[in-house]
């Protein structure tokens, strides 16, 4: 049982959700663990946001290395991480018992319905070269992430503001393994207005991967959903997180999820894999998790580091997979996670967007709509090099 699971439960169900979790935990020791993690989740962690925000990294050189070259005002460059060939990443070291060691890994815990999780699915990994990607590009230009439409002034206001600052697409959370597919009513409100305003809507979902086939089926239900007037989402993004967020993350499970989702959605449907920023010392099966997807959206939350260094590194590290990279920037207060207190200033967002564009990104977005300040909205508005007519690529 991990903090993200508890945070999601507590966010949507409060004390009743905690009571359910306690009922489904069979031992006194388990009760103690649940209560301790719940207390930490409520007291120390920031409010639930759609995609899990990056854990802070130690500033300064790791043991056994020299000093970093400065990349900004007294900001160190994180140690570089380089992926192998796109055929797949090497698994982490195998501890006793043969299970992969993942950063932040913990017990698999019960499934959302209280039943024990199914056995981990471990089919042969799907290589990037084996995927059947869509020919359609996804997420070009400037976008913004919504956790819920209810956190905004409503669909009309969202679309008007999006158009005013030059956005081309919006991400809206539709469900998760824990919550199911729950956001039909907000799709009914947003899709007709967004499409009338020339905006695309990307639905996103948080799979915990205890049952990759069930997660893929829920994603396909979200893709297939039609509003009363016949509108569908324009693309789908899977928010594939780490074991630290309660996910049963294995190379085989991530591969099975993507392969099944691609089979259900078909070869022509645009799929985006939202993943953590590649980081040294934090294992993630990037090749398997992104193989069946058309584009990769790394969560580049720079916290106490340099946004230019972080987005430059992410684009370089993910380039070998041969897919459009659509970095997601930080527009929230990273203080609780080890960054400087307060939301990043306009200058940081500008530098992030400029660096992403200069290094070949086809799209950028920010987490999240309900966090942005007036200065941050101004940064997005002023980034006119990203503005593009339908079907064109951003200006470099």
Is 155 contained in some domain? yes
pLDDT of residue 136: 57
φ, ψ of residue 261 to 5 degrees: the values are -65, -45
39 pLDDT above the threshold of 70: no
Specify whether 22 is located in the same domain as 166.
no
Specify whether 40 is located in the same domain as 143.
no
pLDDT of residue 281: 86
pLDDT of residue 215: 98
Is 52 contained in some domain? no
pLDDT of residue 379: 98
Specify whether 173 is located in the same domain as 322.
yes
Tokens, residue 197? 């305003």
Residues 137 and 45: their CA atoms lie apart, in Å, by 35
Stretch 296-314: mean pLDDT, rounded? 97
Which pTM was predicted? 0.70
Task: Give the domain CATH number at 353.
Answer: 3.20.20.80
The boundaries of the domain holding residue 238 are 128-386
Residues 60 and 75: their CA atoms lie apart, in Å, by 9
Specify whether 160 is located in the same domain as 23.
no
Is 54 contained in some domain? no
Tokens, residue 223? 């893709």
Report CA 245 to chain centroid distance, whole Å.
Answer: 12
Specify whether 29 is located in the same domain as 137.
no
Specify whether 154 is located in the same domain as 258.
yes
Residues 321 and 3: their CA atoms lie apart, in Å, by 31
Higher pLDDT residue, 313 or 138? 313
Specify whether 360 is located in the same domain as 235.
yes
pLDDT of residue 388: 61
Tokens, residue 112? 């959302």
3-class DSSP assignment, residue 151: helix
3-class DSSP assignment, residue 64: coil
- Highest mean pLDDT (candidates 97-106, 128-137, 184-193): 184-193
Specify whether 160 is located in the same domain as 36.
no
Is 299 contained in some domain? yes
Helices (H), 165-290: 184-196, 212-224, 251-265, 286-290
Tokens, residue 144? 């913004």
90 pLDDT above the threshold of 80: no
84 pLDDT above the threshold of 50: no
Stretch 245-251: mean pLDDT, rounded? 97
- Confidence tier at 26 by pLDDT (50, 70, 90): very low
Is 252 contained in some domain? yes
- Confidence tier at 278 by pLDDT (50, 70, 90): very high
- Confidence tier at 30 by pLDDT (50, 70, 90): very low
Specify whether 252 is located in the same domain as 369.
yes
Specify whether 336 is located in the same domain as 230.
yes
Is 98 contained in some domain? no
φ, ψ of residue 11 to 5 degrees: the values are -60, -45
33 pLDDT above the threshold of 60: no
Specify whether 317 is located in the same domain as 218.
yes
What total of structural domains would you count in the chain? 2
- Helix 374-382 vs helix 346-358: crossing angle, to nearest 10: 30
């Amino acid at each position: 049982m991990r903090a993200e699971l508890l945070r999601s439960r507590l966010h949507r169900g409060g004390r009743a959700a905690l009571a359910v979790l306690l009922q489904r935990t069979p031992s006194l020791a388990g009760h103690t663990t649940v209560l301790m993690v719940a207390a930490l989740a409520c007291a120390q962690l920031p409010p639930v946001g759609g995609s899990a925000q990056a854990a802070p990294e130690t500033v300064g050189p790791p043991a056994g290395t020299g000093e970093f070259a400065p990349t900004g005002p007294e900001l160190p460059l994180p140690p570089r991480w380089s992926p192998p060939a796109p055929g797949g990443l090497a698994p982490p070291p195998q501890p006793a018992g043969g299970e992969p060691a993942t950063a932040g890994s913990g017990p698999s815990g019960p499934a959302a319905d209280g039943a024990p999780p199914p056995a981990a699915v471990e089919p042969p990994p799907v290589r990037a070269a084996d995927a059947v990607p869509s020919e359609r590009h996804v997420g070009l230009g400037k976008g913004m992430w919504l956790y819920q439409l209810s956190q905004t002034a409503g669909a009309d206001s969202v679309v008007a503001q999006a158009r005013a600052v030059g956005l081309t697409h919006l991400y809206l959370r539709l469900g998760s393994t824990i919550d199911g597919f729950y956001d039909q009513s907000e799709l009914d409100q947003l899709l007709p207005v967004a499409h009338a305003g020339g905006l695309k809507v990307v639905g996103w979902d948080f799979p915990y991967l205890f049952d990759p086939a069930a997660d893929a089926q829920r994603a396909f239900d979200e893709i297939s959903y039609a509003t009363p007037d016949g509108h569908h989402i324009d693309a789908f993004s899977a928010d594939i997180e780490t074991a630290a967020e309660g996910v049963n993350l294995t190379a085989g499970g991530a591969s099975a999820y993507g392969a099944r989702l691609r089979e259900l959605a078909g070869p022509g449907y645009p799929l985006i894999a939202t993943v953590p920023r590649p980081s040294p010392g934090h294992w993630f099966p990037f090749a398997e998790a992104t193989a069946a997807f058309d584009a990769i959206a790394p969560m580049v939350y720079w916290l106490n580091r340099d946004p230019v260094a972080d987005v430059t590194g992410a684009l370089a590290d993910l380039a070998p997979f041969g897919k459009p990279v659509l970095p997601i920037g930080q527009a929230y207060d990273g203080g609780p996670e080890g960054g400087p207190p307060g939301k990043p200033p306009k200058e940081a967002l500008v530098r992030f967007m400029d660096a992403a564009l200069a290094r070949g990104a086809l799209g950028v977005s920010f987490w999240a709509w309900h966090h942005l300040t007036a200065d941050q909205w101004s940064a997005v508005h002023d980034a006119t090099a990203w503005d593009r007519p339908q079907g064109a690529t951003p200006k470099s």
